[in-house]
Amino acid sequence: MIGIAASAGGLAALSVVLSSIPADFPAAILVVQHLDPDHRSHLAEIMGRRTSINAKQASDGERIEAGTVYFGVPDRHLILNRDLTVSLTSSPASHYVRPAADLLFRSMAEACGARVIVVVLTGGGSDGAEGAKAVKEAGGTVIAQDESTSEFFSMPKAAIETGRVDHVLPLHSIAGVITDVLRKRQASSG
């Protein structure tokens, strides 16, 4: 189970990461990009042309499947439930944003524990840091984009400053490390 969060500069960063995901990717990816709450998002359609796995906007109550990337919708939090369905909620904004990475990451940690890998990409503010801590405390893996490749470093920096980040990577290395971590986990589980 992979969670990715981005804000300012996120479209370009997501393009790099998702275009490097292999077609036989063995996990689901949930993406929170801070979006304008007053406009329909075309992120799933745009990214669908840039990745070899299925890309779609998440639907409330939908069960997630491996090999698919699910994008949050404007003005709704994307939450993973324990039964591996998603909820789109209008609960209060977190860090002034909805959807918020912290809520997604925390829900992923609660639903999947050590099987979670989260990535904090470029963006302003500190959204994602508290959720990254929850993932690490549950035994998951946390990745942050490095400063040199971040258009806006505040979000990755806030995650790094928690002391709970496993890998600080340049943008072009993130997809490869995700894939390597998944392969090692699959090999060790049998």
Residue 189: phi and psi, rounded to 5, are -90, -5
Q: Which residues contact 62 (CB under 8 A, 6 or more apart)?
A: 70, 85, 86
> Is residue 10 domain-resident?
yes
> Is residue 15 domain-resident?
yes
> Is residue 190 domain-resident?
no
Report the pLDDT value the prediction gives residue 137, as an integer from 0 to 100.
97
Q: Active site includes 34? A: yes
Per residue in 32-47, pLDDT tens? 998 777 777 888 898 8
Report the pLDDT value the prediction gives residue 145, as an integer from 0 to 100.
98
Q: Active site includes 95? A: no
Which CATH number covers residue 49?
A: 3.40.50.180
pLDDT in tens, the chain (190 residues): 999 999 989 999 999 999 999 999 999 999 999 877 777 788 889 888 999 999 999 999 999 999 999 999 999 999 999 999 999 999 887 877 889 999 999 999 999 999 999 999 999 999 999 999 999 999 999 999 999 999 999 999 999 999 999 999 999 999 999 999 999 988 887 6
Catalytic residue among 102, 126, 127, 150: 127
Report the pLDDT value the prediction gives residue 91, as an integer from 0 to 100.
87
Catalytic residue among 7, 107, 126, 150: 7
> Is residue 120 domain-resident?
yes
Report the pLDDT value the prediction gives residue 95, as an integer from 0 to 100.
75
Asked if the bond preceding 92 is cis, omega within 30° of 0, the reply is no
First to last CA, the chain: 18
Report the pLDDT value the prediction gives residue 107, as an integer from 0 to 100.
98
Catalytic residue among 20, 34, 95, 107: 34
Total tally of structural domains belonging to the chain: 1
Domain extent, residue 79, equals 2-185
> Is residue 146 domain-resident?
yes
> Is residue 159 domain-resident?
yes
Q: Active site includes 102? A: no
